[in-house]
Amino acid sequence: SAVISQKPSRDICQRGTSLTIQCQVDSQVTMMFWYRQQPGQSLTLIATANQGSEATYESGFVIDKFPISRPNLTFSTLTVSNMSPEDSSIYLCSVRAGLNTEAFFGQGTRLTVV
């Protein structure tokens, strides 16, 4: 299993500003992902955080809006840039140890943009 710590747990931000969310894992993991869960919705994959290289973004998500860093196998950050109220969501970090293993999730960051 993996224990994931996400910071901050919640924040209220002004539109036009940026917020960086941190994800710390208690063990080295090969696969790390960032998801968004809009109010009352399911989880949507934003990107795969690749260690030492640029993240792989899903359709509809771009690096300028959601820059991601992953300097090592236990840590990643997601920045939500130039925020608007539509960015109000829960953002979750997730890790998997291998292809036949389950995913573990952080508690999420609840972001409200006003």
Residues in the site for other proteins, rule: CB under 8 A?
Answer: 30-31, 33, 41-45, 48, 56, 92, 94, 96, 98-100, 102-108
Minimum CB separation from other proteins for residue 89, in Å? Answer: 14
Q: Distances in Å between the alpha carbon of 85 and those of 38, 60, 89, 93, 112?
A: 11, 17, 9, 21, 7
Residue 30's nearest CA partner among 60, 8, 2 is 2
Residue 65's alpha-carbon distances to 44, 99, 105, in angstroms, are 16, 29, 22
Residue 47 or 113 with smaller CB distance to other proteins: 47
Cβ-contact 113, 83 below 8 angstroms: yes
* Cβ closest to other proteins, residue 65 vs residue 110: 110
Nearer Cβ to other proteins, position 22 or 107? 107
Task: Count CA atoms closer than 13 A to 35's CA, side-chain side.
Answer: 17
Q: How far is the CB of 71 from other proteins (least distance, A)?
A: 19
Q: How far is the CB of 70 from other proteins (least distance, A)?
A: 14
Q: Which is nearer to other proteins, 14 or 53 (CB)?
A: 53
